[in-house]
């Protein structure tokens, strides 16, 4: 059914081309490589980077387009998912119809085009969330959530791939910035202070808590503010924001009607040889052990329709995660993208500790689903 729809609006030759490119091998890039390559954004390097993306992006996008056609339980036929698939096919067509990149002018034009592709895909996450909700509405509630594992694994692959595509495009576009901020190579900050990023992210999360509840617990941050390592600050901000927001909400809800003063949320930043670890600790009452596996799924959100909520929130990528239960699974993907991880450990009746591990070495290749 979905395949038929694709053929109605897209030519048969395009669909065949997608099949062909979807079988080609993807090429992963490491954080260290992006950093070293981008530290000298000469015209020649930008040309090489443009030529690499001209070949790499269609492969990655074709893979996702194919997967969007073959999802279980009829998810592929949901209107929101069809819309996402059309975005992917449009982007594939744009990339494939762009001629070979031979000189700086070609490369500049190509950069404008991939910039537009990135914007086209801005709302993929809330749109897929809507598709999953459309599916859940029509689904027999007796279907056990374990059976939805296939959809969960698909979304993990799909969003992980999206992080990679957006990183590659964003990195290339940012290398064109004539006045980059100090110590920045594209999206990567070579001297990022995790304590400083954690402070900014906490302030943002606390502001949301204040707006929602009228008050907010304190946040204490422990760690050396002068310690720095190379990482992508926007990724770290998004992850810490999400963890702190969850902790604030838990503490706030637990102590709202109590005479006791709400205990602070604590953030500890530790530097190891391999990893930088950020622990976010709260005394918000914890999560029952049976509920822990659910916090990383895309299918349990209690929030209202993501797009209704989304439309009130403006278009910042970060804030779209504010309301529909995708924060934790997507934060874990961001951590894993550069070789880290996210673990949540809970003491029911007391509180929750989230451990965000970031790889310090930057050597791990992108995961390529």
Tokens of 125: 């996450």
The pLDDT, as a whole number, for residue 308 is: 52
Q: Output phi, psi for 24, to 5 deg.
A: -80, 160
Task: Categorize the per-residue pLDDT at 320 as very low, low, confident or very high, splitting at 50, 70 and 90.
Answer: very low
Q: What is the pLDDT of residue 363?
A: 83
Could you give the CA distance from residue 359 to residue 275 in angstroms, rounded to a whole number? 5
Residue 342 tokens read as 């996210």
Nearest by Cα to 306 from 331, 325, 334 = 325
What pLDDT is attached to residue 294? 86
Q: Which tens digits make up the pLDDT trace of 62-94?
A: 999 999 999 988 899 999 999 999 999 999 999
CA distances from 157 to 23, 184, 348 (A): 16, 29, 31
pLDDT at residue number 11 = 86
Percentage of the chain modeled with pLDDT above 70:
89
Q: What is the dihedral of CA 173, 178, 184, 188, to 10 degrees?
A: 0
| pLDDT for residue 99 | 97
Helix (H, G, I), strand (E, B) or coil at 342: strand
Contact (CB, 8 A) for 328 and 239? no
> Is domain 193-359 given the CATH code 3.30.565.10 in the classification?
yes
Which pairs from 97-104 meet CB under 8 Å and 24+ separation?
98/54, 100/54, 101/47, 101/50, 101/51, 101/54, 103/47, 104/43, 104/46, 104/47
What's CA 272's distance to the chain center, in Å? 25
Q: What is the mean pLDDT of residues 335-360?
A: 97
Mean pLDDT over 166-193 rounds to 96
Q: What is the pLDDT of residue 362?
A: 79
Residue 285 near residue 254, CB atoms below 8 Å: yes
Structural tokens at position 329: 């699974």
What pLDDT is recorded for position 54?
Answer: 98
The closest of 257, 269, 261, 253 to 351, measured between CA atoms, is 253
Q: What is the mean predicted confidence (pLDDT) over 192-196? A: 98
> Distance between CA 87 and CA 94 in Å, rounded?
11
Q: How far apart are CA 112 and CA 102, in angstroms?
A: 16
CB neighbours (10 Å) of residue 261? 9
Looking at residue 146, its pLDDT comes to: 59
Per-residue model confidence (pLDDT) at position 3: 47
Average pLDDT of the residues of the chain: 89
Q: What is the mean pLDDT of residues 324-341?
A: 91
Alpha-carbon distances, residue 143 vs 35, 149, 155 (angstroms) = 46, 11, 19
**Is pTM beyond 0.85 here?**
yes
- Cα–Cα distance, 227 to 239 (Å, whole number): 19
Range list for CATH 1.20.140.20 in the chain: 12-181
Residue % of the chain over a pLDDT of 90: 75
CA–CA distance, 206 with 276 (Å, rounded to integer)? 24
Q: What is the pLDDT of residues 118-169, one digit of tens each?
A: 999 999 998 998 898 888 887 776 665 656 788 889 999 999 999 999 999 9
- Residue 37, pLDDT score: 92
pLDDT tens, residue by residue, 223-271: 999 999 999 999 999 999 999 999 999 999 999 989 999 999 999 999 9
Q: How many CA atoms lie within 13 A of 37 on its CB side?
A: 19
Residues 6+ apart with CB under 8 A from 148: 73, 297, 299
What's the pLDDT score for residue 148? 78
Q: Is the pLDDT confidence value at 306 over 70?
A: no
Give the strand pairing for 219-222 and 265-271: parallel
Lowest pLDDT segment from 106-120, 162-176, 192-206, 290-304:
290-304
For CATH 3.30.565.10, the residue range(s) in the chain are 193-359
Architecture of domain 12-181: Up-down Bundle (1.20)
As a whole number of angstroms, the distance between CA 47 and CA 36 comes to 16
């Amino acid at each position: 059914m979905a395949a038929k729809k694709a053929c109605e609006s897209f030519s048969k030759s395009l669909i065949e081309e997608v099949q062909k490119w979807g079988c080609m091998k993807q090429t992963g890039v490491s954080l260290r490589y992006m950093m070293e390559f981008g530290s000298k954004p000469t015209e020649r390097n930008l040309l090489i980077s443009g030529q690499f993306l001209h070949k790499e992006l269609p492969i990655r996008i074709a893979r996702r387009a194919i997967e969007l056609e073959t999802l279980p339980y009829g998810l592929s036929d949901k209107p929101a998912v069809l819309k996402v698939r059309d975005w992917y096919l449009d982007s594939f067509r744009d990339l494939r119809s762009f001629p070979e990149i031979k000189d700086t002018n070609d490369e500049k034009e190509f950069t404008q085009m991939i910039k537009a592709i990135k914007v086209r895909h801005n709302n993929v996450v809330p749109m897929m969330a809507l598709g999953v909700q459309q599916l859940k509405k029509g689904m027999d509630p007796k279907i056990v959530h374990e059976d939805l594992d296939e959809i969960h694994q698909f979304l993990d692959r799909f969003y992980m791939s999206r992080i990679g595509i957006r990183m590659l495009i964003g990195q290339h576009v940012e290398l064109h910035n004539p006045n980059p901020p100090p110590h920045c190579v594209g999206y990567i900050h070579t001297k990022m202070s995790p304590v400083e990023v954690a402070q900014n992210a906490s302030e943002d999360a606390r502001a949301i808590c204040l707006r929602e509840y009228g008050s907010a617990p304190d946040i204490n941050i422990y760690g050396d503010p002068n310690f720095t390592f190379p990482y992508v600050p926007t990724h770290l901000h998004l992850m810490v924001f999400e963890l702190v927001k969850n902790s604030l909400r838990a503490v706030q809800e637990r102590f709202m009607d109590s005479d006791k003063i709400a205990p602070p949320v604590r953030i500890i930043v530790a530097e190891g040889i391999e990893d930088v670890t950020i622990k976010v600790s709260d005394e918000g009452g914890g999560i029952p052990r049976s509920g822990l596996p659910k916090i990383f799924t895309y299918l349990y959100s209690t929030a209202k329709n993501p797009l209704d909520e989304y439309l009130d929130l403006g278009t910042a990528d970060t804030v779209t995660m504010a309301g529909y239960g995708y924060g934790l699974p997507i934060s874990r993907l961001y951590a894993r993208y550069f070789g880290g991880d996210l673990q949540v450990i809970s003491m029911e009746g007391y509180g929750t500790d989230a451990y965000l591990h970031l790889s310090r070495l930057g050597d791990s290749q992108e995961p390529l689903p």
